[in-house]
Amino acid sequence: MRPEAIQIIKDEHLAISAVLYSLRYLVREMRKGAGPNFALLRAILDYIVSYPDRWHHPKEDKYLFAAVKRRSHDADALIRRLEREHELGYPMIERLKTDLIAFQRGDAQAREAFFDAAERYAELEWEHLRTEEEVFLPIAERVLTAEDWAEIAAAFRENDNPLFGIKPRDEAEALYQRILALAPAPMGFGGAAGD
């Protein structure tokens, strides 16, 4: 039977991917001349900070990667790469937040920098999620025991004892709802998304 933790991780990836999709969609529309929706862009960046950065990635580092390292060295190099990608993502979002503020103040250079960095971030993150699902998780499935998976699932499920003294999952859920409320209809949430 497929470990429950794998489904949780894939569901989290799906939520993250959907928000990245909306970010890329908005950048493409703005490049074509659409007016910026700063409240929505801000909500997307806040979501990335509170969900993938404070919740999803640290749980992978602390529970999933740690468990695989205990059982096998097969994925050591891959885990180093994935951990490094988590670390690289944090300052990219900080930079995007700074650029967004300058963009909102009318700085044309910051506007372009924001577009480029947002698209680069989305691509890197998608590639990261894809590598975890297609390369890393099959190795994890091979080396981890049922108890390992149960511990990992418990860690990903828990919401009362978060790592950072807040409830990132609740916060992320509220931000996700805010993104949905602010998003224009063609952004594709809950329906077929055009590219």
Footprint on this chain of Fe ion (rule: CB under 5 A): 60, 132
Question: How far is residue 162's CA from residue 49's CA, in Å, rounded to a whole number?
Answer: 15
CB of 132 to Fe ion, least distance (A): 5
Which of 179, 156, 191, 174 has the alpha carbon at shortest distance from 23?
179
Which of 60, 48, 40 has the alpha carbon at shortest distance from 172?
48
To 10 degrees, what angle do helices 38-48 and 76-104 make?
A: 150
Q: Among residues 28 and 62, whose Cβ is nearest to Fe ion?
A: 62
Question: How far is residue 104's CA from residue 162's CA, in Å, rounded to a whole number?
Answer: 33
Q: Among residues 17 and 72, whose Cβ is nearest to Fe ion?
A: 17
CB of 133 to Fe ion, least distance (A): 8
CB of 60 to Fe ion, least distance (A): 5
Handedness of CA 173, 175, 176, 177 (dihedral sign): positive
Q: Among residues 27 and 52, whose Cβ is nearest to Fe ion?
A: 52
DSSP 136: I
Q: Among residues 132 and 171, whose Cβ is nearest to Fe ion?
A: 132
Q: Among residues 64 and 187, whose Cβ is nearest to Fe ion?
A: 64
CB of 145 to Fe ion, least distance (A): 21
Q: Among residues 99 and 132, whose Cβ is nearest to Fe ion?
A: 132
Q: Which residue has the tokens 């993502």?
A: 89
CB of 32 to Fe ion, least distance (A): 31
Cβ distance 109 to 21 under 8 Å? no
CB of 26 to Fe ion, least distance (A): 23
Question: How far is residue 189's CA from residue 185's CA, in Å, rounded to a whole number?
Answer: 8
